[in-house]
Structure 1
Amino acid sequence: MAMEAMRAVQILNPSGEVTMPRPTRQRVMCVANQKGGVGKTTTTVNLAVALALHGNRVLVVDLDPQGNASTGLNVPHHAGVPDVYDCLIDQVPMEEVAQAVEGIPNLYCVPATIDLAGAEIELVSVVARESRLGRAIQGFPMEFDYVFIDCPPSLGLLTVNALCAAQEVLIPIQCEYYALEGLNQLLNNINLVKAHLNPNLDVSTILLTMYDRRTRLADAVEQDVRNHFGEKVLTSVIPRNVRVSEAPSYGQSVMTYDPGSRGATSYFEAAQEIAERGAKIGVAA
């Protein structure tokens, strides 16, 4: 119990005294994997909250029409709320759409409503359709240390917009049998975007999620991923944890829902690793 309480205080950082290093310049990270259910949204929300609680200024852009990142941060995203669709299609300035996340200083979210479901088709005929999101983020007057873009589980125009807006790709990989299937397709698409649209794009971070220590399979997948991606794979691994799954139903991240849980500790350690890498490499694009 005492250990859990200590972990909770470390994660919630009520005094604001403990900080994670800030990057030398803004890091725009696209959280992508076209396989559904691998923990993209959970990863986006929890890393954003952990970094914001420890002195970084963070913006989350919800680019998934399901709006799960908006739900996880308890940001209104019902029909009629100004959202990322307005930025992409009507070029509404992003600062008019971004909402401060309640209870978490330094954290803002650009929500997604169901309107976004039609954006994929509407963008087809729009001028400079791939760079709409990038321009909207660049036009934001507030300086952020991190911008996390939560992508839909597909490789359509919304994901292409995210890849064009970002300098880095963070890929969550589930520690299960089908995890590596489809990854080649994602990497090919990233390389195509890099070659034709965004030469600064780099797969900088791989995070292993839903790790079950009791199975040999999880261990085998971890070894495969580490052998293939090397240094890009974070040392921290996210375990299967009931608290992580429960948190969104309360409109919270696991950081605030149960800061003493293993899930919260793991995401906190992953955020710390990302912050330390960013400060160390001077954020190579």
Structure 2
Amino acid sequence: MLSYAVYSEAGGVGKTTMTANLAVAHARAGLDVLAVPLDPQDGDLSYLFDVDQDRANSEVDTLVHHLVNRNSGELTDLIKTVEHGVDIIPEHNRLEDLAEALRKERDARSDFGESFPMYTQLQRVLREAEIHKQYDVLIVDPPASSGPHLYNALDATRNIVLPFEPSGKGQASVSGLNDLVTNLESQLEINIGVLAVVPNRVKGTRDQKAIIGEIEEQGFDTPVVFGDRTSLLEGCWREKCSAYRYIQEHRNQRRDYELETLAQFDRLARHLESEGNIEAPNPPNPGELDRDETEVKA
């Protein structure tokens, strides 16, 4: 199974939008995809895929309940299916209290001489539910800040896809990536791979090209470079869908540069699949939109 977290220390770089479109890109090529968003902020992946109706419902079972062994049902009962058959475990407001919930469970276990590693619980929950047998791709969308959300995401996936905006701030976040990964590996006692660094919102200035060149010289793979597609991606959030569906259903006229953006998501998905040693059974031509979804897994 290919598993990765879409992560960046810098906020506002299109992390969640990239997660959504990569999930769809994998799924429309015939792969079974599970997305696990862990960001407690509003404007999250569940909102983008329009499955956040129970976010504030205190009566429902949630992923946090499963992480601290207080669940009332099966993990699969939490899963919702969105466009192109992508499965997602929607975020819930309880994620805001995840750190405290994990600490309380650890302390309670400690009173009885039991161990409760706080940062391996997502991996445990996914393993016990045999997610690796049901899905080809697992994508986790953690917040930018350090803490149990991020650490559980990295422990469960062991790989990072890093979107960044080629600015001074973005360059600093990538330049420190080696140190960041080394520190996280040491803290979590795992190996973490960087599958791709993805320049985003690129306007093609000389400075931006220089920054991207410097990132590549550091040995990071930049398989695609996304231009500034603010209108397209804002439309996705407005209509609560991926860029694929937005162009297909909400654009009266298809623009070549937007179709190329879809093609780039497809190419990036194929690159990540190759890194994970999996092969999509029915990949479309990059950017192709008009296939019937029922043909994907034929």
TM-score in terms of structure 2 length: 0.77
Letter in 1 for 2:232: R
Tell me which amino acid in the other structure corresponds to 1:29: Y
SS in 1 for 2:3: strand
Given candidates 70, 77, 89, the residue that maps to 1:110 is: 89
Asked which structure has the greater CA Rg, the reply is: 2
Aligned to 1:226: 216
Counterpart amino acid of 1:274? A
Which residue does the alignment assign to 1:94?
Answer: 75
The percentage of aligned residue pairs carrying the same residue is: 21
The C-alpha deviation readout for 1:55-80, integer Å capped at 9, x for no partner, is: 11111101001251111112124212
Residue identity matched to 2:172: E
Q: Letter of the aligned partner of 2:84 in structure 1?
A: I
Change (3 A) 1:198 1:204: farther
In the TM superposition, 1:52-91 aligns within 5 A as 52-67=27-42, 68-77=44-53, 78-80=55-57, 81-90=60-69
Q: Which protein is richer in strand relative to its size? A: 1
Match of 2:234 among 245, 265, 277: 245
Decide whether the 8 Å contact of 1:61 with 1:148 is kept in 2. Answer: yes
* Contact 1:95–1:141 (8 Å) recurs in 2: no
SS at match of 1:258: helix
- Give the unaligned 5+ runs of structure 1: 1-25
- Please give the alpha-carbon distance, in whole angstroms, between the structure 1 residues aligned to 2:184 and 2:144: 17
- Is the Cα contact below 8 Å between 2:13 and 2:165 reproduced in 1? yes
Contact 2:5 2:141 in 1 (8 A): yes
In structure 1, the partner of 2:207 is 217
Q: Write the distance in 2 (CA, Å) between the matches of 1:51 and 1:281.
A: 12
Q: Relative to structure 1, is the Cα distance of residues 175 and 51 closer, same or farther in structure 2, using a 3 angstrom cutoff?
A: same
Using the TM superposition, give the Cα deviation of residue 210 of structure 1 relative to its aligned residue in structure 2, in angstroms.
0.9
Q: Distance in 2 between matches of 1:198 and 1:97?
A: 30
Contact kept in structure 2, 1:131 and 1:164, CA below 8 Å: yes
Query: How big is the alpha-carbon RMSD for the aligned residues of Structure 1 and Structure 2?
Result: 2.3
* Correspondent of 1:282 among 259, 277, 289: 277
Cα drift, residue 198 of structure 1: 4.6
Give the aligned partner of residue 7 of structure 1.
none
Which residue identity lines up with residue 28 of structure 2 in the other structure?
Answer: L
Partner SS state of residue 207, structure 1 = strand
Q: Which residue of 1 aligns with 2:8?
A: 33
- C-alpha offsets along residues 198-226 of structure 1, whole Å, 9 cap, x if unaligned? 5342112111111112x222212211222
Map 1:130-209 to 2 at 5 A: 130-142=119-131, 143-183=134-174, 186-209=177-200
- Contact 2:9 2:145 survives alignment (8 Å): yes
CA gap 1:74/1:268 in 2 versus in 1, 3 angstroms: farther
Q: Is the 8 A contact 1:32 1:151 kept in 2?
A: yes
Change (3 A) 1:120 1:188: farther
Alpha-carbon spacing, 1:104–1:179, altered in 2? closer, same or farther (3 Å): same
After TM superposition, the structure 1 stretch with the greater mean CA deviation from structure 2, 221-230 or 35-44, is 221-230
Question: 1:264: how far off?
Answer: 5.3
Report if aligned partners of 2:175, 2:215 keep a CA contact under 8 Å in 1. Answer: no
Name the TM-score, length of structure 1 as normaliser: 0.80
Q: Report the AA paired with residue 238 of structure 1.
A: F
Residues 91/224 of structure 1: CA separation in 2 closer, same or farther (3 Å cut):
farther
Give how far 1:281 is off: 6.5
* Matching of residue 269 in structure 1 with residue 226 in structure 2: no
Once residues 186 and 82 of structure 1 are traced to their aligned partners in structure 2, the CA distance between those partners, rounded to angstroms, is 36
Q: How many residues align?
A: 253
Question: 2-side partners of 1:281 and 1:44: how far apart?
Answer: 17
Q: Deviations over 1:68-119 (max 9, x none)?
A: 1111112124212543323323453421211111x422x1001112221111
The aligned amino acid for 1:173 is F
Check whether the contact 2:21–2:242 (CA below 8 A) recurs between aligned residues: yes
| Contact persistence 1:30–1:162 (CA under 8 A) | yes
Paired with 1:267 and 1:167, the residues of 2 have a C-alpha distance of 26
Q: Which residue of structure 1 lines up, in the alignment, with residue 251 of structure 2?
A: none
How far did residue 155 of structure 1 move?
1.2
